[in-house]
Structure 1
């Protein structure tokens, strides 16, 4: 093989690798991100060390919906991210009383929390425009810093929707509901 052919081949490889790196950075920056779960605030839905794909594009086109699992910039610590479930959206009346959650005066069916869980707090408020009310699925006392602690969350703090658990490779692998 001639030196010119080798140089051309190396140049093509460098271009291909460079393009692949640029595409990967664009995808990670604008489309998907990987999220690593620390803590038990979303137990039993998510466990510590679960790894998730977070869709960053979905909220450019739609507002968060009740039931979405979202990654958000922590309102009480800008250096951290939290993962929580959207319980109520702007305009909803949220109430927590006697360990139960009510949205718009209707008892919220929460099949994702442990049976018999008691939701601590005594809250009654209307979610302001441009905000959501989030809770962790783990309702044990002190298990989750969420809207009971820091109030409704501005939508612009939401970084994406957790949509797929890709690790561990067990019966929990797959799409999140």
Structure 2
């Protein structure tokens, strides 16, 4: 009888430890997220399932072209790409990204740009001063984010700059569906 009680106690103890470890991992390190909508096409597809690294920005700052998840509202998280960093001026003119008035290649858009017709617009022209907030340069602890599907994305062009406090983490691993398993990013 004592052996049976001991076995049950060991099983319950192991289960509680597993639940505690899962809670800590999900709370502080990694969470799953499902892409909702076409704003990151062609890089991410609607319903792609990804892992978000919540820890990485505690030890380093976001880098240009990182794909981040952030709180757009109390009820909605968005997935977008970091384009502009603190202290920078960002503009797009004739489908070319300019950071501090210098053209910057966007390798994740190369295929789209190659297949465009000469009159086609991938990204409407804009400059930082004309976005919500009217900044001349991106303030400290903020980033400018854009969706890869520039003609169909709610991003910094309409919602303004994103504060570091809004960022949940970085995502780069698609784990579902099986035929889309890959590391994405720069």
TM over 0.5: yes
SS at match of 1:17: helix
Match of 1:152 among 138, 161, 173: 161
SS at match of 2:75: coil
TM-fit CA distance, 1:24:
0.4
Partner of 1:118 in structure 2? 122
Question: For residues 151 and 102 of structure 1, what CA distance do their matches in structure 2 show?
Answer: 18
Match of 2:53 among 39, 55, 79: 55
Instruction: Specify every segment of 5 or more residues in structure 1 that has no aligned partner in the other structure, as ranges.
Output: none
SS at match of 2:107: coil
Partner of 1:163 in structure 2? 172
TM-fit CA distance, 1:97:
2.4
- Is the CA contact 1:54–1:163 (under 8 Å) kept in the aligned structure 2? yes
Count of residues in correspondence between the two structures: 170
Partner of 1:80 in structure 2? 76
Instruction: Specify every segment of 5 or more residues in structure 2 that has no aligned partner in the other structure, as ranges.
Output: 129-135
Query: Structure 1-normalised TM-score?
Result: 0.91
SS at match of 1:79: coil
TM-fit CA distance, 1:88:
0.9
Partner of 1:4 in structure 2? 2
Partner of 2:65 in structure 1? 67
- Is the CA contact 2:29–2:53 (under 8 Å) kept in the aligned structure 1? yes
Partner of 2:182 in structure 1? 174
Partner of 1:21 in structure 2? 19
TM-fit CA distance, 1:121:
4.1
- Is the CA contact 1:101–1:119 (under 8 Å) kept in the aligned structure 2? no
SS at match of 1:126: coil
As a proportion of its length, which structure holds more helix? 2
- Please report the RMSD computed on the Cα atoms of aligned residues, expressed in angstroms: 1.3
- Is the CA contact 2:91–2:125 (under 8 Å) kept in the aligned structure 1? no
